Amino acid sequence: MLPLVTHLHLQGRVMHPYLDDIFHVQASLLQVCLTRDVSLRLHFSLGFIINLQKSALVPPQVLLHLGGMIDTRRRLIYIYPPQVRLDALVKASQELLQSTAVSA
């Protein structure tokens, strides 16, 4: 996928690939849609199969991805640890509060 992304970058298309995902970044909705369309045409012409049902073809302003949330309106990224880690943290905190001995 690197040659494809490099080709699009050389055309001024800003994107961030991650494994089998590509995030298109532009200054306006129109530019993002144009970049998306060029990218889709190029992918299809090279024989890539794109799962359109799982794709966010209408650029969202808030996107959940990899356990985090990207909010482009506020320019913030929220990181959410997996529930297993949160549960372990709560359990360890409760045990610490209930214990009378503290280890170094």
Same domain, 50 and 9: yes
Domain boundaries, position 8: 1-56
By three-state DSSP, how is residue 68 classified? strand
Residue 54's closest CA among 20, 15, 26, 83? Answer: 20
Same domain, 77 and 98: yes
Q: What is the pLDDT of residue 19?
A: 79
Same domain, 37 and 67: no
Each residue's pLDDT expressed in tens, for the chain with a length of 104 residues: 788 889 988 998 888 888 788 888 888 889 989 999 999 999 999 999 999 888 888 888 888 777 788 888 888 888 877 777 788 888 988 888 887 766 65
Query: Quick one: which H or E segment has residue 86?
Result: helix 83-98
Give the contacts of 2 (CB within 8 A, at least 6 positions apart): none
Report pTM. Answer: 0.61
As for how many domains the chain has, the answer is 2
Same domain, 86 and 38: no
Same domain, 50 and 92: no
Same domain, 50 and 67: no
